[in-house]
Amino acid sequence: MIKQALIGILCGAVALTVGILIGHYGITKSNGSWAKDVAKDVDESLVEKFLSEVDSSHIRENLRELTKVPHMATTAGDEQTVQLMLKRWQDPDAGLDQAWREEYLVYLSFPDPKKPNKVTVGDPADAVLYTAREKEKVYTPDQDDAEVVQPYAAYSPAGQPKGKLVYANQGKPSDYKLLSETVDLRGTIAITRYGGAGRADKAINAAPYGVSGVLVYTDPLDINDGLMSDASETYPHSWYMPPSGVERGSFNTHYGDMLTPYLAAKEETYRIPAESITGIPPIPIQPIGFEDAYKLICELGGRAAPDAWRGGFNCTYNFGGPGFKSTSAFNESDVKLAIFNTEVVKNSSNVMGVIRGSVEPDRYVIYGNHRDSWVHGAIDPSSGTSVMLELTRVLGRMVKQGTWRPRRSIIFGSWGAEEFGLIGSAEYTEVICDQRRNARSFSAANATLRASGMPSLQNVIFKATKQVDAPGLGATSVYDNWIRYANRTSSAHGPIPRVGYLTGAGSDYAAFVHYLGIASMDISYTYDRSKTNARIYPAYHTAYDTFDYASKFIDPGFISHQAIARTAGNVLIRLADSLVLPLNCSDYAESLEDYLNTAVPLYQSKLQAQGISMGKQPLKRAVASFRSAATHLDQVIRSSDLVRRINDQLMLLDRAFLDPLAFPDKYAYRHVIWASSSAGKPTFPGLADAFANAELTVGSWARVHYHLSVLSQAIEGAAHTLADVI
Amino acid sequence: MIKQALIGILCGAVALTVGILIGHYGITKSNGSWAKDVAKDVDESLVEKFLSEVDSSHIRENLRELTKVPHMATTAGDEQTVQLMLKRWQDPDAGLDQAWREEYLVYLSFPDPKKPNKVTVGDPADAVLYTAREKEKVYTPDQDDAEVVQPYAAYSPAGQPKGKLVYANQGKPSDYKLLSETVDLRGTIAITRYGGAGRADKAINAAPYGVSGVLVYTDPLDINDGLMSDASETYPHSWYMPPSGVERGSFNTHYGDMLTPYLAAKEETYRIPAESITGIPPIPIQPIGFEDAYKLICELGGRAAPDAWRGGFNCTYNFGGPGFKSTSAFNESDVKLAIFNTEVVKNSSNVMGVIRGSVEPDRYVIYGNHRDSWVHGAIDPSSGTSVMLELTRVLGRMVKQGTWRPRRSIIFGSWGAEEFGLIGSAEYTEVICDQRRNARSFSAANATLRASGMPSLQNVIFKATKQVDAPGLGATSVYDNWIRYANRTSSAHGPIPRVGYLTGAGSDYAAFVHYLGIASMDISYTYDRSKTNARIYPAYHTAYDTFDYASKFIDPGFISHQAIARTAGNVLIRLADSLVLPLNCSDYAESLEDYLNTAVPLYQSKLQAQGISMGKQPLKRAVASFRSAATHLDQVIRSSDLVRRINDQLMLLDRAFLDPLAFPDKYAYRHVIWASSSAGKPTFPGLADAFANAELTVGSWARVHYHLSVLSQAIEGAAHTLADVI
C-alpha cells in the first residue's frame, strides 16, 4: 500500500455560486446594529470552532451508511440515499434551513439483468471455447449483492458482432491508423485498454475502419503497477484491482441529459429523437477484466505491436493476424460480443438544501457532490458525500443554535446521475440558466494535496490549507505537505503548491464553468504519484469500491476525510462570510500570461504568414489590459470602501469569459479560457484547436482568425470588468 | 398642414442601462451622512427645476446648427456633428463629467459621385426615351448643397439590368406570386412601392422569379394623402413630399456591421467574406420619385392590377404586358437600371458622455440617439439630437454647479451609422456584451403621444407625462392629450394610453433589447393618424428633411421638442434617482397574459393533434408563475427594506427572457418575447413563426415543440427572477 495514497473526493466540488443580487440597503432600519451586521467580516474564532468540531468518526459512519448497498442512479439503492440526505438535511438539531428533492426525466442506459452481456471465443464450428466473466469475483459479501450491476458500457448500442480479434492499444485515432496499415480491420473485434482516449472514442474512432465491435480493459501496468495476482498482491490484500475487476463507465462525449440539450429535462420538455444523439458508440463495446484480457491478448497472432503499446502482461502484445496465432487453441476462432443494453428515460433526483444568508441572502455559494455510484461507490462518490454530510452537520448545528448565520446563502447539492454524464448538475444549471439572477458562482473544492480551479481561487485555498493539519503528520499543515508533492514557481509568489486548471468536463463542475461562467474549484486528497503509475485509484468504478476497501486501504482512520472536511468547510466559510470576496485577479492574470507565453512561440510566425496578427495585437494587448486592470483592482481593494462594487467585479469576472458562439462545434462549451481542447497545448483552447485544424487543413485560417477575435474581445471584456466604472 | 402633426424624435431612444454592479456598503464611512445619501429617493423639486429650465429656443438653435449641412455617416458633415457633440459635452459650465469618441471600422455602401446611378427607358434601337431624375428638385439652398447624396439603395449591388417593366405592388412574396401567375417575370424590371415588406425584401422576393432589377418609389396615396402637385400642395407649401422626393434607405435585413457579426468592428477583428453576407438585395434596386414612377406606371400594359394594388395616381395600375401598352410612346421599350454603388469599409464614430452616479456609480442609465442622417436629417435624427443636447445642457449645468448628481450613472450615446443598419449602437453592445457587468439597461424614450417599450416601463412614462404640459394646449398634460389619440383598457388600470411593444429592430433600441436583454423604450411626438394616411412624415429620408421643413411644418415654435425634452428628462431623472427602480412587473404580466390569450385559440387544438401540450402546461403554467411572482414582488416592494435586492430583480427581469439558442435562424435575436416575427400575430414571436412554418410544412412540429419548451422555460425563469430568494 502506498503511504500517501489517501482518499480522492473525486467529485466533491465545492461550487460557490454567488448570485447577482444583493441584500439590504437597510433604508428604514439603518440603525447601528444593521450597519454592524452589514460590515461584518469572516470570524476567525468561528472558523476555529468549525475545524475543531469536524469529527472523523462521524464521517466513517456516514460512509458506512451510504455504502450499505449499491446505489446506481435511479435504483432502489439510490432512493435510499435520497432519503438519507433529506433526513439529515431536515434534521431539527443539525439540519439546514430547508431541503428538498428536484427530479429530472433523463436518458439512461442499462444492461438487461435477464439477458446478461456476453463475450465469448467461438471456433469456426461455432463451439464456445472461452467465455469471459460476467460478474466480478466475490471477496466480501458486497460483491455478492444482487444489485451489483454487471460490468457494461453505458450507451453502447445492443448488437452481436463477431470477428477476428485485433489489439488496438488505447483506441486513439493514431492507434487505429497504425494498426490498419498492417491489418485489414473490416469485420474485426478490437480490444483496447483504458486511457489515452475518451471511453466512447475507442468505438467512435474504430467504426470508420469497419471494426464491428470493441472490448476495453484496464491493463495492470496502468492501474496496478504491474501486479496481477489476487493470491497476495491485489485486493483484498492491497488497494490494487483484482484480476476480475472491471471499470464501468458512461460511454458518451457530451454532458447533461442527451435528449434535452440546453433544456431542463422536465416531463413536457421537447426531446430530440434518440437517433440524433451524437458522441456515443456507433458499434457495440464492452468492458472486461484484465484476467480475461490476458487470455485473449496473449493468444493474438500477427506482428508484434510497438513498445509503447505494451502493457503489464508477461507476453508479447501482437496486433492480431487478425485473430489468434496458429499455435493457439483459439486458432481460426472469432470473438463474439452479445450486448443487450437498453436505453430508458427515468426520473433522477438531485437533493438540494440551503442555509440562508443574513446580509446577502440573494447571493449563493454552492457546495455540491454527486450521490450516485456505479456499484457501492465508497470513494466515488460516497467519500465526498460523507464529508459533505459532516460539514452540513457542524454548520447546521451552529445555525440551529443561533451561533452563526453566513453572510451569503449556501446551497448544497447532492447531484443525481453524474456517472451517466454529469446529468444532475447539468440539468440544474439548465434550470438556473433561465433564472439568471442565480447564475453566478465560483465553485471550490475540499482542498488538500490536489486542487484544480480558477486561478483567482488559489489564494483562498492556500489560506484554508495553512490552517488545517495534514492527516497523520502532527503539526505539518495540509499546505506544507501539499507543496512537497506538487509545486511550481510563480512570478508573483515564488514557490507555491500547484493548483490545476478545470479544463474539460471531468466532473460536476463542468456545467457551472462552461455553461454558466462561474468560478469553481475541485479538490481532493490523493495518493503519491511518484510511488505508483496508477492513473486513478484501482477500484474506480468496480465492485471493489466498498466501505471495506476504503476503510482498509484508502483512509483507515478517516483522518484524510477529516482533513478534507476541514479544508472544504474553511474555504466555504470564507467564501460565504468574507466582506470582500477572497478572489485574487492578479493570479488569474498570471495564468493568462502563461497561456500567452505558450501561444506566441507556437503560433505567431505561421499566423503572420496568413496575414493574421497575434503577438502584438489584439491578443497580447488584451492580456496586458487584463493584467493592468487586475493590478489596479488590487489597489482599489486595499484602499476602497466600495465593497459591494468590488464583490460584483470579482464575482462577474468569469462570466466575462463566456461567449455562446465561441465554440460552434462543441456542445455547451462557452468559456474561452477553460473549454476542452484536443490539441494538448497548455494555452487558449479554442486557439490551439483551430490552429491544429488549420494546419491539418481540416479547418481554415479564417476560423483561427475568428477565434482570435472572439478570444481577444473576451479578455478585453474581462479586463473591463475589473476596471473602474466609467 | 395637420394640426397635431408634430415632431417624431424617431430614433431618440432613452436607453437606460443599469449595470449589474453596485456601490457602497460604506464600511469605513458608515456615518449618518453616508446613510442619508444611500437612502435618498427622487427629489421632486429637482424634477420641477429641470422642467422649467428646458428651453425651446435652445432646441431650435441646436437643430439649426446640426442641420447646416448634410451629415451622412462618415462624411465631413458627420465629422462636424461629432465635433459639435464633443464641444457641448465637454463644456466646462454645462457639459458632462466626461465625453469621448469611439470608432468602429464598418461596412457601408455609397453611390459613385462621378458616375451617378441612372434609370432610363430605351426603345428597341437603344434610343433613350426617358431619364428619371438623378437629384431632387431645388426649393431651398439646402437641396443644392453639393453634399446631398444622390437617392440610392444602400447595399444594392452594382449592375446594369434592363428588361420589360412590371408593377409588383409592395414586392411582398404574395405580390410576386400573384403577378407571376399572369406574367412571365424572367428578365423583367419590377417597379414596387414602399410599404408592406422590408426594403431589401422587395429585391430578395423578386429574384427567385428571374426578375433582373427593381425600382421602388413612394406612392402619393401612402405618404401624401394623394396630393401630388408642388405648385400648391406639397412642400414648400406643406409638409407633403414633393414629386421629385425620394426616400433613401439601407437595404439590408440584419442589424449591426455586416462583416463582423457578434464581434465589435475593430481594426484587427475577423471579417467574414463580403460574399457571405445574407439579407441584402441579390439584384440591383434603385429608389425613384413618384413623379418618375407616375410616368412609368401609367404607361404599363397588361391586365389591370387588383384594387388593393392601386395607389394615388389618376390612371389604371396595370401589371405590365410585361412592358408598356401598345398605345404608349414607350411601346416595346425596356427599362434600364445603371447602378454604380460601391461598398467600402470606413471609420464611423459614436460620441459617448457620462454623468457619474453618486451612490451607485456602477449602474447605468443610457440615453441614446443616432447622429447620422441621409441628407440634412432635420427630423431624422437631428430633432432627437437637438433635444438630447438641451437635456444634457440642463442636467450638465446642475452637475457643474453642484446642485445635483444622479444616484446612478447616466451614459449618453450619439450613435453613428444608424441609417446603414443600426451600426453604431449595435457595435457598442457587442463591446459591452463582453463587459458584461455593464450589460443591463432599460432604454426609454422622450415620451409623449407615441411610446413603445417594455410593459414594465409603462408606469414611469405615465408618471412623467402627467407632469408635462402638452404643447399648445394650456393646462392639458401630455398624458391627458395622449390618451385621446391612443388608448386601451387595461384589466388592472382601466382606460390608459396605449404603450406599444418594441418588437423587431426599428431603431437603435434593437441591440439593447435583443442582444443584451435590457428593458428599453422609444418615444416620440407624432402626428394625428386619423387625419392623414401618411405612413411616416413625408420628408423622411429625402433632401427635404431640413431645418426649413421642420421649423415651418413640423414644430414651428419648437414646443413639441420642448415637451419631449421635458418628458424624456423626467423619465431619465426618475430612472437614475429612484431608490426603488420605477418598473412595474405586474404590467409585464398583463402583456404576457395577452400574448397567451391570443396564442391558445390560435394554436392549441392543432398542437394537441401533434401530441404537444400547450394550453395547460407548460406555457400556461409559466405565465401563471410569472403573474404570481409579480404580484408577490409588488407586495414586497411596498413592505420591504431590501432595496438593493429588489432593484436587481427589477433590473434583471428582461435578461431572463434571453436565450441565445431560441432563434437559430435569426441573427442576433435572443429575447423570446420581443423578437421579430413574420407571422403577424400579437403573441409570442417564435411560437407564432414556428407554428406558421409547420403549417406550411416549411418547418416541423418538432421545432414548434422545441420553441415551446424554450419559451416556457424562459418565462418560468423570469418568474423565478421575481420570486423571493431561496
Mean pLDDT of the region B16-45: 49
> Which among B418, B427, B430, B590 is annotated as catalytic?
B418
CA closest to B616 among chain A residues: A268
Mean pLDDT of the region B190-210: 96
B705 in contact with chain A, both atoms CB, cutoff 8 A: yes
CA closest to B718 among chain A residues: A435
Q: What is the pLDDT of residues A651-676, one digit of tens each?
A: 677 777 888 888 887 777 888 888 88
Domain at A112-340: CATH architecture: 3-Layer(bba) Sandwich (3.50)
- Is it the case that residue B433 has pLDDT exceeding 60? no
Q: How far is A603 from chain B (nearest CA, A)?
A: 17
Q: Write out chain A residues lying below 8 Å of B585, CB-based.
A: none
CA closest to B263 among chain A residues: A710
Residue B432 confidence (pLDDT): 44
Residue A643 confidence (pLDDT): 62
B579 in contact with chain A, both atoms CB, cutoff 8 A: yes
Q: Which of the residues B36, B270, B710, B721 would you substitute to probe the A interface, choosing the one with the greatest number of A C-beta atoms within 10 Å?
A: B270
- Is it the case that residue A503 has pLDDT exceeding 90? no
Q: Write out chain A residues lying below 8 Å of B413, CB-based.
A: none
How many whole angstroms from its chain centre is CA A253?
13
Q: Write out chain A residues lying below 8 Å of B362, CB-based.
A: 645, 648, 725
d(CA A434, CA B720): 8
- Is it the case that residue B39 has pLDDT exceeding 70? no
Q: What is the pLDDT of residues B396-424, one digit of tens each?
A: 999 999 999 998 889 999 999 998 988 88
Residue A3 confidence (pLDDT): 26
Q: Write out chain A residues lying below 8 Å of B431, CB-based.
A: 713, 717
| Mean pLDDT estimate for chain B | 85
| Dihedrals phi, psi of B628, to nearest 5 degrees | -65, -40
Instruction: Choose among B243, B219, B217: nearest CA to B139.
Output: B243
Three-class SS of residue B409? strand
CA closest to A718 among chain B residues: B435
- Burial zone of B719 (CB within 10 Å; 0-12 exposed, 13-18 middle, 19+ buried): buried
Q: Write out chain B residues lying below 8 Å of A270, CB-based.
A: 702, 705-706, 708-709
B615 vs B146 pLDDT, higher one: B146
d(CA A442, CA A422): 18
d(CA A447, CA A564): 6
Q: Which of the residues B21, B515, B653 would you substitute to probe the A interface, choosing the one with the greatest number of A C-beta atoms within 10 Å?
A: B21
Which A residues 415-444 touch B at CB under 8 Å? 431, 433-438
| CATH code at A13-107+349-442+505-577 | 3.40.630.10
Nearest-CB residue to A436 (from B38, B721, B725)? B721
Q: How far is A390 from chain B (nearest CA, A)?
A: 23
Q: What is the pLDDT of residues A160-176, one digit of tens each?
A: 999 999 999 999 999 99
Which B residues 630-649 touch A at CB under 8 Å? 641-645, 648-649
Domain at B13-109+344-577: CATH architecture: 3-Layer(aba) Sandwich (3.40)
Which A residues 272-331 touch B at CB under 8 Å? none
Nearest-CB residue to A27 (from B643, B708, B714)? B643
Q: How much of chain A, in percent, has pLDDT values that exceed 70?
A: 88
Q: How far is A686 from chain B (nearest CA, A)?
A: 15
Using the beta-carbon criterion (under 8 Å), do B437 and A705 form an inter-chain contact? no
Q: Write out chain A residues lying below 8 Å of B717, CB-based.
A: 431, 433-436
Using the beta-carbon criterion (under 8 Å), do A435 and B717 form an inter-chain contact? yes
Nearest-CB residue to A29 (from B24, B641, B706)? B641
Helix axes B701-722, B643-652, angle to 10 degrees: 160
B407 in contact with chain A, both atoms CB, cutoff 8 A: no
Using the beta-carbon criterion (under 8 Å), do B713 and A656 form an inter-chain contact? no
Residue B11 confidence (pLDDT): 26
CA closest to B614 among chain A residues: A268
CA closest to B352 among chain A residues: A726
- Residues composing chain B: 726
Mean pLDDT of the region B305-324: 97
Q: Which of the residues A17, A24, A27 would you substitute to probe the B interface, choosing the one with the greatest number of B C-beta atoms within 10 Å?
A: A27
Instruction: Choose among B456, B441, B470, B502: nearest CA to B567.
Output: B470
Q: How much of chain B, in percent, has pLDDT values that exceed 70?
A: 88
A510 vs B397 pLDDT, higher one: B397
Classify each residue of A495-512 as buried b or exposed e, where b means 16 or more C-beta atoms within 10 Å of its C-beta. ebbbbeebbbbbbbbbbb
State whether the Cα torsion A674-A680-A686-A687 is positive or negative. Answer: positive
Q: How far is A679 from chain B (nearest CA, A)?
A: 22
CA closest to A268 among chain B residues: B618
- Is it the case that residue A322 has pLDDT exceeding 90? yes
Residue A645 confidence (pLDDT): 63
CA closest to B712 among chain A residues: A269
Q: Which residue has the cell 471456433?
A: A123
Residue A37 confidence (pLDDT): 63
Helix (H), strand (E) counts: chain B: 20, 20
Three-class SS of residue A722? helix
Q: Which of the residues A515, A648, A725 would you substitute to probe the B interface, choosing the one with the greatest number of B C-beta atoms within 10 Å?
A: A725
A410 in contact with chain B, both atoms CB, cutoff 8 A: no
Q: Write out chain B residues lying below 8 Å of A28, CB-based.
A: 641
Nearest-CB residue to B435 (from A19, A269, A720)? A720
CA closest to B432 among chain A residues: A717
A143 in contact with chain B, both atoms CB, cutoff 8 A: no
A112-340 and A585-722: same fold?
no
Domain topology for B585-722: Transcription Elongation Factor S-II; Chain A (1.20.930)
B580 in contact with chain A, both atoms CB, cutoff 8 A: no
B602 in contact with chain A, both atoms CB, cutoff 8 A: no
Using the beta-carbon criterion (under 8 Å), do A268 and B709 form an inter-chain contact? yes
B679 vs A726 pLDDT, higher one: B679
Which A residues 66-125 touch B at CB under 8 Å? 98
- Is it the case that residue A547 has pLDDT exceeding 50? yes
- Is it the case that residue A286 has pLDDT exceeding 90? yes
Q: Are B560 and B648 in contact (CB under 8 A)?
A: no
All structural domains of chain A with their residue ranges: 13-107+349-442+505-577, 112-340, 585-722
Residue B233 confidence (pLDDT): 94
Nearest-CB residue to A262 (from B19, B39, B661)? B661
A607 in contact with chain B, both atoms CB, cutoff 8 A: no
- Predicted confidence band at B470 (pLDDT cuts at 50, 70, 90)? confident
Q: Within 13 A of A153's CA, how many CA atoms are on the CB side?
A: 31
- Predicted confidence band at A141 (pLDDT cuts at 50, 70, 90)? very high
Identity of the amino acid at B252: N
Using the beta-carbon criterion (under 8 Å), do A22 and B22 form an inter-chain contact? yes
- Predicted confidence band at A427 (pLDDT cuts at 50, 70, 90)? confident
Range name among A263-267, B432-436, B457-461 with the lowest pLDDT average: B432-436
Q: What is the pLDDT of residues B266-302, one digit of tens each?
A: 888 888 999 999 999 999 999 999 999 999 999 999 9
Nearest-CB residue to A642 (from B24, B269, B712)? B24
CA distances B179 to A553, B207, B230, B285, B299, Å, are: 84, 13, 33, 19, 17
Q: Which of the residues B17, B22, B706, B712 would you substitute to probe the A interface, choosing the one with the greatest number of A C-beta atoms within 10 Å?
A: B22
| Catalytically annotated residues of A | 418
Q: Write out chain B residues lying below 8 Å of A22, CB-based.
A: 22, 644-645, 648
- Is it the case that residue A338 has pLDDT exceeding 70? yes
Residue A44 confidence (pLDDT): 93
Instruction: Choose among B493, B133, B102: nearest CA to B295.
Output: B133
| Mean pLDDT estimate for chain A | 85
Q: Which long-range contacts (CB under 8 A, 24 or more apart) does B33-38 make?
A: B35/A30, B35/A35, B37/B358, B37/B359, B38/A25, B38/A27, B38/A30, B38/B359
CA distances A291 to A203, A310, A415, B167, Å, are: 22, 16, 34, 83
Q: What is the pLDDT of residues A69-102, one digit of tens each?
A: 999 999 999 999 999 999 999 999 999 999 999 9
d(CA B527, CA B555): 11
- Predicted confidence band at A581 (pLDDT cuts at 50, 70, 90)? confident
Q: How far is B591 from chain A (nearest CA, A)?
A: 20
Q: What DSSP line would sit under A332-380, residue for residue?
A: TPEEEEEB--EEEEEEEEEEEEEE--SSEEEEEEEEEEE---SSS-III
